[in-house]
Amino acid sequence: MSVIELEAPADARARSRPRPSRTSGKAWQRWLSPVAVIVIWQVASSTGLLPPRLLAAPATLAATAADLVQSGVLPTAVGVSLQRVLLGFAAGAAAGILLALVAGLSRPGENAVDPLMQMLRALPFFGLIPLFILWFGIGETPKVLLVALAVSFPLYLNTFAGIRGVDGKLAEVAHTLKLGRAALIRHIVLPGALPQTLVGLRQSLGVAWLALIVAEQVNATAGLGYMINDAREFLRTDVIVVGLLVYSALGLLTDALVRLLERRALSWRRGFLG
Partner 1 sequence: MAARLPGVKAVASVRDLTRAFGERVVLDALDLEIGSGEFIALLGRSGSGKSTLLRALAGLDREVSGELSVTDSVAVAFQEPRLVPWKRVLANITLGLDGPAERAHAALAEVGLTERAQAWPLTLSGGEAQRASLARALVREPDLLLLDEPFSALDALTRITIHQLVVELWTRHRPAVLLVTHDVDEALLLADRVLVLDEGRIAHDSPVTAPRPRHRDNPELITLRADLLTALGVAPEGRS
Residue 172 interacting with partner 1 (CB under 8 A):
yes
CB 182 within 8 A of CB 124: no
The DSSP secondary structure of 36-83, one letter per residue, reads HHHHHHHHHHHTTSS-TTTS--HHHHHHHHHHHHHTTHHHHHHHHHHH
Please choose, out of 57-65, 87-95, 179-187, 255-263, the segment that lies near partner 1 by the rule CB under 8 A: 179-187
Which H/E stretch holds residue 130? helix 129-136
User: 136 vs 272, which CB is nearer to partner 1?
Assistant: 272
Rounded CA-CA distance 223/211 in Å is 14
Task: List the one residue out of 250, 254, 232 whose CA is nearest residue 241.
Answer: 232
Of 24 and 47, nearer to partner 1 (C-beta) is: 24
Number of residues in contact with partner 1 under rule CB under 8 A: 21
Q: Is 165 in the site for partner 1 (CB under 8 A)?
A: no
Q: Residue 273 interacts with partner 1 (CB under 8 A)?
A: yes
Residue 169 in the binding site for partner 1 (CB under 8 A): yes
Closest approach, Cβ 254 to partner 1, in A, equals: 25
183 binds partner 1 (CB under 8 A): yes
Instruction: Quote the distance between the C-alpha of residue 112 and its chain's center.
Output: 28
Q: Which residues bind partner 1 (CB under 8 A)?
A: 169-170, 172-179, 183, 187-188, 191-192, 194, 267-270, 273
